[in-house]
Amino acid sequence: MASAVVVGVAFRAFYPGPMLSRSVFAVGSLFLFASATLGRLGWVAQSWKGDTSVERLDHRIFHVLYWIGMLWGTLAVL
Protein backbone atom coordinates (compact mmCIF):
# COMPACT_ATOMS: atom_id res chain seq x y z
CA MET A 1 0.00 0.00 0.00
CA ALA A 2 2.92 2.32 0.65
CA SER A 3 3.99 1.91 -2.98
CA ALA A 4 0.57 3.16 -4.13
CA VAL A 5 0.97 6.26 -1.95
CA VAL A 6 4.47 6.89 -3.35
CA VAL A 7 3.23 6.47 -6.94
CA GLY A 8 0.30 8.81 -6.24
CA VAL A 9 2.55 11.49 -4.76
CA ALA A 10 5.04 11.18 -7.63
CA PHE A 11 2.25 11.27 -10.20
CA ARG A 12 0.78 14.44 -8.69
CA ALA A 13 4.22 16.06 -8.51
CA PHE A 14 5.47 15.24 -12.01
CA TYR A 15 2.34 15.10 -14.19
CA PRO A 16 1.50 18.62 -15.37
CA GLY A 17 -1.54 17.67 -17.46
CA PRO A 18 -5.21 17.74 -16.57
CA MET A 19 -6.50 15.33 -13.93
CA LEU A 20 -9.88 14.04 -12.91
CA SER A 21 -11.51 15.94 -10.08
CA ARG A 22 -10.84 14.94 -6.48
CA SER A 23 -14.42 13.82 -6.02
CA VAL A 24 -14.08 11.38 -8.94
CA PHE A 25 -10.92 9.93 -7.38
CA ALA A 26 -12.63 9.71 -3.96
CA VAL A 27 -15.73 7.94 -5.27
CA GLY A 28 -13.59 5.64 -7.44
CA SER A 29 -11.41 4.76 -4.48
CA LEU A 30 -14.45 4.00 -2.34
CA PHE A 31 -15.90 1.81 -5.12
CA LEU A 32 -12.64 -0.14 -5.51
CA PHE A 33 -12.26 -0.74 -1.76
CA ALA A 34 -15.92 -1.77 -1.45
CA SER A 35 -15.81 -4.16 -4.42
CA ALA A 36 -12.64 -5.83 -3.18
CA THR A 37 -13.99 -6.20 0.34
CA LEU A 38 -17.44 -7.40 -0.68
CA GLY A 39 -15.93 -9.78 -3.22
CA ARG A 40 -13.81 -11.32 -0.49
CA LEU A 41 -16.76 -11.66 1.91
CA GLY A 42 -18.64 -13.78 -0.60
CA TRP A 43 -15.82 -16.31 -0.97
CA VAL A 44 -16.79 -19.53 0.86
CA ALA A 45 -15.47 -22.36 -1.33
CA GLN A 46 -11.80 -22.98 -0.63
CA SER A 47 -9.44 -25.89 -1.00
CA TRP A 48 -7.48 -27.32 1.89
CA LYS A 49 -4.21 -25.65 0.96
CA GLY A 50 -5.70 -22.58 -0.69
CA ASP A 51 -3.43 -22.73 -3.72
CA THR A 52 -5.73 -23.48 -6.64
CA SER A 53 -5.54 -21.20 -9.66
CA VAL A 54 -8.96 -19.69 -8.86
CA GLU A 55 -7.91 -18.89 -5.28
CA ARG A 56 -4.64 -17.35 -6.42
CA LEU A 57 -6.50 -15.26 -9.01
CA ASP A 58 -9.00 -14.13 -6.35
CA HIS A 59 -6.14 -13.14 -4.06
CA ARG A 60 -4.39 -11.23 -6.86
CA ILE A 61 -7.57 -9.37 -7.87
CA PHE A 62 -8.12 -8.42 -4.23
CA HIS A 63 -4.62 -6.96 -3.96
CA VAL A 64 -4.83 -5.12 -7.29
CA LEU A 65 -8.18 -3.53 -6.39
CA TYR A 66 -6.86 -2.44 -3.01
CA TRP A 67 -3.67 -1.03 -4.56
CA ILE A 68 -5.58 0.99 -7.15
CA GLY A 69 -8.04 2.09 -4.46
CA MET A 70 -5.16 3.36 -2.33
CA LEU A 71 -3.63 5.13 -5.34
CA TRP A 72 -6.92 6.86 -6.18
CA GLY A 73 -7.46 7.72 -2.52
CA THR A 74 -4.03 9.35 -2.43
CA LEU A 75 -4.80 11.32 -5.59
CA ALA A 76 -8.10 12.44 -4.06
CA VAL A 77 -6.37 13.75 -0.94
CA LEU A 78 -3.48 15.55 -2.65
| Closest CA relative to residue 63, chosen from 39, 44, 28, 45 | 39
Contacts of 26 (CB under 8 A, 6+ apart): 72, 73, 76
Domain enclosing residue 48, as ranges = 2-77
The whole-model pTM stands at: 0.87
In angstroms, rounded to a whole number, what is the distance separating the alpha carbons of residues 70 and 45? 28
pLDDT digits (tens, 9 = 90+) for 34-54: 999 888 876 666 778 778 888
In angstroms, rounded to a whole number, what is the distance separating the alpha carbons of residues 73 and 27? 9
Looking at residue 49, its pLDDT comes to 78
- Tally of domains within the chain: 1
